Amino acid sequence: MSVAKVIEISSSSKKSFEDAIQNGIEKANDTINEIQGAWVNEMKVGVENGKVTSYRVNLKITFVLKD
């Protein structure tokens, strides 16, 4: 039997939503083992002078807990 846990993290990028997602998963993988998946809970952009300056995502990450 396995038990999974879900946590929520925020990640940002100046390039794209895809880059923000990849950055968040890579950073989470540095400290969390057995990541099974993630879903984007929220997407948001930062705007300055009418231009998009940053992309932010809130991710829910699922990982398996150790026995």
Between CA 21 and CA 6 the distance in angstroms is 16
39 closest CA partner among 66, 6, 13: 6
Residue 12 tokens read as: 């940002």
Q: Are strands 4-13 and 51-64 parallel, antiparallel or unpaired?
A: antiparallel
Q: Does position 67 have pLDDT exceeding 80, yes or no? A: no
| Parent domain of 24 | 4-64
Q: Which amino acid is at 24?
A: G
Condensed to tens digits (0 to 9), the pLDDT of residues 18-66 reads: 999 999 999 999 999 999 999 999 999 999 999 999 999 999 999 999 8
- Give the CATH number of the domain where residue 13 resides: 3.30.1660.10
Number of domains in the chain: 1
What's residue 46's pLDDT?
97
Q: What is the pTM of this model?
A: 0.87
